[in-house]
Amino acid sequence: MKQLVTDFPLQLQEALIIGKNHKFITSPENFSNIVVTGLGGSGIGATIVQNYVFDKIRIPFIVNKDYFLPAFIDKTSLVIVCSYSGNTEETLMAMQQARKKRAKIICITSGGKVAEFARAKKLDCILVPAGMPPRSCLGYSLIQILAVLSHLGYIGNAYEREVKAAIKLLKADAESIKKNATALAKKIVGKTPIVYSSSFMEGVAIRFRQQLNENSKMLAWHGAIPEMNHNEMVGWRDDAADKAVIILRDKDDFERTQLRMEIGKKIIKKYHPTILEIHSEGKTYWERVFFLIHITDWISVYLADMRNMDAVEVKVIDYLKGELAKA
C-alpha cells in the first residue's frame, strides 16, 4: 500500500492521459440530469467531483450508492457507471436499470462484467489499469469523470492544468507530507478519529474516513460544517480523551464556515484539549484537494503500521462478498 500511495502523483498523470486519449462515442447533448453510480473506492471520486461541480453545472448531478437508481432516470439522463473491478453487484444492477430506462450510459472500469456489457451494447467504456485495490485507484476514476464532463461541455478543461499543478506539488512536497503524516498518525493512534470539514470538502473527509476504515482497520466518523453545528455539536458533553478530532481546513472555505470552525474548536476543547488541523496547500482547487487526499492517505497507512495491521487486506469484505455469492 505504501508504494501505491507513493505512486499517487504518477497515477494522476496517467489518468489525465487516459481521459485525453479516449475516443468518445457519446455526443454532447442536453441531458436533464447526470447520475454517477458506484460504491466504495469506485464511488468516492464521484462524491468529490460532486462537491466540485456544485456551483458549475446547472442540472442535477447525483451520486448513487445503491442497487437502485432514482425514479427520475429516463432517456434524457446520463448515467456514469463506475466500478473499478467491473463486478460490483450493486453497480451492475443499477446499470441494468439505466439500460431499461433508456438512459445514456458511460462506463469507467478496469474490466469485468461492466466492460463486457459496454462492449456488447456498444457503449463508451473508459478502461483504467487493473489489479489494484479499488481504494488506491481514486485518481483513475475521479479524473475520468472530469474527462466525461469536459467532453460533454459541462466543465472546461481547466482541471487538466490544475491536476498537473497538483502532481508537481505532491512530488515536490513528498518528504514533508510523509513527515507531517507520521507526526499526525502518532497523535491519532489509540483513539477514535473524528474528521470535520466544510461541506465543500466533505468528499475529502469521507475519503479520509474510508481510508481509516480500510487501511488502518479503525472505526471513525466524519461531520460537515455547517450541518454538524445543528446536531452533532450538542453531543459534545462528556470527556473525550479517547477521541482524536481532525479538522480539514481550506483557505477557500466560506468565511462564516471558518468562523464556525473556530467557535466549534472552543466548544470541543472543553472536553478534548487536542484538536488536530490539516491545512490544504496549493493555489488551485485540485491542488488543495489532492494535497489533503495524499496526506490523509499517508496517515491511514502509517496508522496501519502503528497498529500492526496489513493495510492491503480486507478479509471481512471478501467474506461478505463470498456469503452474498452463496445467496
What domains are there in the chain, each with its CATH number? 2-156 (3.40.50.10490), 174-306 (3.40.50.10490)
Residue segments in the chain with a per-residue pLDDT below the cut of 50: none
Phi, psi of 209 (to 5 degrees): -60, -45
Say whether 230 is catalytic.
yes
All three cell numbers of 138: 481514486
Say whether 214 is catalytic.
yes
CA-CA distance, 255 to 147, in Å (whole number)?
Answer: 31
Q: Check residue 202 and give its pLDDT.
A: 97
Answer yes or no: are the C-beta atoms of 293 and 137 closer than 8 Å.
no
- Catalytic residue chosen out of the listed positions 162, 202, 214, 287: 214
CA-CA distance, 36 to 73, in Å (whole number)?
Answer: 12
**116 Cβ partners below 8 Å, 6+ apart?**
86
Q: Check residue 260 and give its pLDDT.
A: 97
pLDDT tens digits for 312-325? 888 888 888 888 88
- Catalytic residue chosen out of the listed positions 23, 122, 230, 266: 230
Say whether 269 is catalytic.
no
Name the strand (E) or helix (H) holding 243: strand 243-249
Amino acid at 237: R
What is the pTM for the complete model shown? 0.95
Which residues sit opposite 196 in a β-bridge? 223, 247
Within its chain, how far is the Cα of 283 from the centroid? 20
All three cell numbers of 186: 502518532
- Catalytic residue chosen out of the listed positions 171, 186, 283, 321: 321
All three cell numbers of 237: 458533553
Burial category of 283 from C-beta neighbours within 10 Å (exposed 0-12, middle 13-18, buried 19 and up): exposed
